[in-house]
Amino acid sequence: MEKKNQHYSSQFPNVGVKVFTVPVSLHRHLYLFKTVTGVFSYKKLDLGTKVFIEHMTLPKKEGYLLDLGCGYGAIGIVLAYLNPRSSVYLIDTNRRALWCTRENIRHNLSERSGKVIVLHGSYFKPLQNKNIKFEAIYMNPPLRNGRKEFLALCKDMPTFLKRNGQFQFVIKKKMGANYIYNYLIQNLSSLYEKINVTFKRSGYWIFSLVSI
Ligand SMILES: C[S@@+](CC[C@H](N)C(=O)[O-])C[C@H]1O[C@@H](n2cnc3c(N)ncnc32)[C@H](O)[C@@H]1O
């Protein structure tokens, strides 16, 4: 494992704190993201995240959106900026990442902090008892936790999606995108109306799963 990403899933990363600013233009808008050591891809926006943000499908209707495993918040913040009438949830286990996310919401989305909600915890645990069904869930998954964990999450996902809700995620081809596609088709076709790879570029595949 590379040292720079060694601690990104930890609840309390055990590395010194150094703050960075990551400027990035997405959908023709300039965002300035504050990041710190111990957070995923803190020196620059991950290429997979960038490809994903540029090519993810935006929901047609307003509603609840979720950035699951938000890191310093890039996906969720862009979603909130582009969908000002929707409520956007951002969840992560890494408290340092969530500190960045809150700062980044304040600096990049100054007028709408009420509809952007940051929660700490593992996957859907922070949503227990909230009874929210999402229009769409977006993710650059922590595959370093293991493919098995991610595939189990794909199985649970429809419980948290509205009818025809979308689960969109990005996978690096080298991290087993093809295996994941075949697994989903063979094992989870009964849970989803559609399982598609909607975009491939720079070694990344974007998936879209539509719930029944
Ligand atoms: C590949 S990084 C993506 C981060 C961010 N979405 C981005 O694109 O820059 C995966 C993120 O998932 C978080 N994560 C790991 N395990 C998690 C879990 N069980 N529940 C929620 N988030 C988790 C990590 O802390 C990390 O921020």
- Give the model's pLDDT for residue 2: 40
What span, in angstroms and rounded, lies between the C-alpha atoms of 116 and 149?
Answer: 27
Domains (range + CATH), the chain: 46-211 (3.40.50.150)
Comparing C-alpha atoms, which of 80, 78, 82, 49 is closest to residue 64? Answer: 80
The residue whose two tokens read 């943000």 is: 53
Secondary structure of residue 84 in the 3-state scheme? coil
Other C-beta atoms lying within 10 Å of the C-beta of residue 33: 23
Q: Torsions phi, psi of 66, nearest 5?
A: -135, 130
| Percent with pLDDT over 90 in the chain | 88
Confidence tier at 207 by pLDDT (50, 70, 90): very high
- Tell me the best of 10, 26, 39, 40 to mutate to test the pocket of ligand 1, counting ligand atoms within 8 Å of each CB and taking the most: 40
- Per-residue pLDDT, averaged over 102-118, amounts to 87
Of 4, 6, 8, 120, the residue with max ligand 1 atoms within 8 A of its CB, to mutate for a pocket test, comes to 8
User: What is the rounded distance in angstroms from the CA atom of residue 42 to the CA atom of residue 71?
Assistant: 9
pTM: 0.94
